[in-house]
Every structure is written in C-alpha cells, then in structure tokens.
Amino acid sequence: MRRHRNVKIVATLGPASSDYDMIRALFEAGADVFRLNMSHGDHDDIRSRHNIIRDIERDLGRPIAILADLQGPKLRCGVFEGDSAEIEEGQSFRFDLDETPGDATRVQLPHREIFDALEPGKTLLVNDGKLRLTVDRCGADFAECTVVTGGTISNRKGVNVPDVVLPLAALSEKDRKDLDFVCGLGVDWLALSFVQRRADVDEARDLVQGRAAILSKIEKPAAVAAFDEILAASDGIMVARGDLGVECPVQAVPPIQKRLTRKCRAAAKPVIVATQMLESMIDSPMPTRAEVSDVATAIYEGVDAIMLSAESAAGAYPIEAVRTMDNVAREVEGDEVYREIIEASRSSKLTTTADGIVAAAREIAETTDIKAICVFSHSGSTALKVSRERPRVPIIALTPIAKTARRLVLSWGTHSVETQSVERFKYAVVSAVRAAKAGGFVDLPDQVVVTAGIPFNVAGSTNILRVAPCDERLIFGSEVD
C-alpha cells in the first residue's frame, strides 16, 4: 500500500461513501485521510463511519487519519412571506430582529451579535455572496442597507459579514457537543470553523485536552489578518477557499493560498487546500482542465494535502475523483520544475539541534544513494521537521504511539509506521531497516538515514543520525550484536 507520491489526499465521507467496501475502495484508490463532516449526519452516522475506518486500518495494517470537521456558527436570515422576495440594486432593505415573515423591504436577522458589530459603510453578503448590501444606518436591533447587487433572497439563506470581527465564539453549543463526541471516538484531527482570532483556537484546545490535533480553517478575512497568531496556536491549517472566496475578493484568494502555504511549511505544520478542487466530478467522471490545473497548482506550492468534499461525499464518481487526484499528483511530482519550486522555497532558518539533524539527513539523502529517511519520533515533531525539508526520498516515521502515527499521515511525504518502543539506538536502526524493507522502500544492499533521540521515548530529544545499510543481518537476524 505504499503511495508513490508525497502530497496527501483527504476524502470527505457521506451518503455516497458510507459502507466498508466503498471506504476501503477510496483508501485503495489513494485516500490517506478521511474527513467526517459534522454539518451532515447525526452521531450514529459519524460513529459508524469512524468504526469502519478503524476496521479498514486493522485489516490493512496501516495507520489511517480521521479528521472531524466542526460546523461552526451558522448565520442565516429569517423566512419570507411566500418563501422569497426580489430585491433590486439601489433600493433600501432592512435587517432586524422582528420574527414577522419578510418581504422585499425587510427580513429578520436573528443574530444580535451582528448588529453589535456593524457600522455604517460595512458590507453584508447573502447567499454565498450573490447578494451584496452596504450598511447605511444601524443600531442594536436593526441595519438599514442599500442593495449593491440584487436578486432573489429566500428563506434562511446564509449571511456573511466580511469586514468586521464578529463577537461570536468559533464554537456553538452544537460544536461543543460534537467536539466532545468525536474526541471520545478517537479522531486524530479536529477542524475548527469560523476561526477569527487566536482565542478561538485556545478555547478549543482547552476543551480537546490533548485528545486530537487542532486544525484551524482559514475562511474569513479576520483569520487571514491574524494568521501568524492562529498558526502559532494550531497544529495544522486548512485553507477553506469556499467561504474565503465569498468574504474576500476572488482575485485575492490565490495569493492568500500561496502565502499561507509557505508560512505553514516554515512552521513545520501541515496545510490542506480545500473546496471545489474537482467539483465537476460530483456529476461527471472527468474533471475540467481548469480543475486539474487548480489541483496541480496546490501541489506545486508544496501543500501537505488536497481535499475532496462533495466529490467523494455525495458525488456519483467518488473513486474516480480520488484516482484523478492521485494521477495529477504523480504527474506533477515527476516534473523537474516541481523539484525546482519546492527546493527554492525551502526555509534555511535552523534554531535547534533537531533542525540541524533533519537538515543534515536531507542533505545526506540527496547527495548519496540513500533510499529513505527513517525518523523515530515520540510526539511527531521531528517527523514534521523532516517533512518541512521536502526531501527527494520517502520519509518513514516510526513511533510507538498509534495516535502520533495517525496524525503524521496528513504530513507531506510521510509513511507512518507504528512500532515497539526501543531503548537503544541499535534496535532503532533494526526497526527502521525492517520497516523500510517491509514497506517496499528498500532492498539489499540499499542504505537509509536513521534519526532518533537519546534518551529514547522523550519528545523533542532528536540528537543522533546514522547511515544504515539494509543487510541481511539487520533484516532477517533474530538479534543484533
């Protein structure tokens, strides 16, 4: 089951991908991480899919990462007399707290927090940005607006407020219940929606209590502005281009994507690019050329993972969508220009012993005939540092902790292996060589680089590097002298 690419594929599960056979087929087609979308399906559905993934993991003997994606607060307008109304450019339109069904002049907006944050001149977007209004006058319970872009406004359409930081927590009451539920199940990553500030991540971390790694979704301009602080508090990032493209000018999204990707890599934290990557494959067995180019661009940028949403959750061709991503990734990563871009964007800032060890491991691997870099990692931090280097050879992350092995699945170029604890470096070398041979990464008489830390099983202690031969004594011997 070795992957012949470095970028990882995240596949969202849903009605089209909810049984053992389909989920296993998605994994065998190339999916590395499965996303459970808490916006859809009840807890019984989520539990069932989680258990199936763990069954597949056991049956195939390979760690699989599970990402639970919280819904976040949903801001929606109220209902209309007749279910909808037409509003025209230049007309006045009012949002207020009155529960009376709306018409072409007003509608309820049942979110007092929005009124508390609004100021004249601010923008309100409705229905994924299709309708745009500018605030003329506002108070604690109303906003008088001018319609900039008109059209049909209907029941409970989403409302976005792009140019203010809303006094709303990223976690709704539903999110809190979902968070505790999925952490109890044992998911590996938890994605936070509606992140606006570092405090949103800190609040979630207090609730998670170490049960899952935290991945912040960047989908609001406020999150882009506060990105450095959010990144520092997070274990990973998702560039959620759907809402980001609604609240930001669409032409600003590609530069934001590139900028955030580079910052994540410099921080040695995984980054996922998501939304509409192969959207036409919801209904078609073939993607558009533009979609293929979009996927390729993200891979050229060096992202850790690319994500399928409705394509794999509700589409007619989920397996074909995963295979398409896999094929595009292999083609891009085989391009000489890809390596030039990846290596030109490598950060040279080294501040710790572990930084120096992993940089040396990458240089040795690239200047000699080394087939893999084998990393013993307790917390996963050293493996993440090796992944940041984007070496030309595979990374084999060995850890005695199942949760660490699963979390590292999301990282670029990393093949996770759960192994027994070792107390001496020579046994680490044996485990590394055997794992490399079992995974099909080496053969006799290839060599690997092994990094580890002494004392063993202590997070952050990486301080040793060795080039090890893959000889019969190490691979087949019952003991090591």
Q: Which residues pair with 146 in a beta bridge?
A: 92, 134
Selecting among 12, 275, 382, 399, the annotated active-site residue is 275
Selecting among 5, 8, 35, 437, the annotated active-site residue is 35
Nearest to 427 by CA among 478, 379, 370: 478
Catalytic-residue membership of 76? yes
The span from the CA of 359 to the CA of 424, in Å, is 23
Selecting among 49, 217, 241, 390, the annotated active-site residue is 217
How many CB atoms are located within 10 Å of the residue 141 CB? 13
Selecting among 76, 263, 323, 346, the annotated active-site residue is 76
- State the number of CA atoms in the 13 A half-sphere of 61 facing the CB: 6
The span from the CA of 297 to the CA of 329, in Å, is 10
* 3 state DSSP class of 245: helix
Nearest to 5 by CA among 291, 435, 324: 324
The span from the CA of 3 to the CA of 413, in Å, is 9
* 3 state DSSP class of 479: coil
Exposure class string for 397-418: b at 16+ Cβ within 10 A, else e:
bbbbbebbbbbbbbbbbbbbbb
Nearest to 387 by CA among 442, 277, 305: 305
Entry field: residues in the chain: 481
Extract the runs of DSSP E, i.e. beta strands, from 414-461: 414-418, 447-453
The span from the CA of 328 to the CA of 391, in Å, is 20
Which tokens belong to 72?
């976040």
Nearest to 454 by CA among 430, 480, 424, 432: 424
Catalytic-residue membership of 137? no
Catalytic-residue membership of 275? yes
Contact (Cβ atoms closer than 8 angstroms) between residue 70 and residue 48: no
What stretch of H or E contains 335?
none
Contact (Cβ atoms closer than 8 angstroms) between residue 204 and residue 192: yes
Contact (Cβ atoms closer than 8 angstroms) between residue 208 and residue 184: no
Which residues are designated catalytic? 35, 76, 217, 275
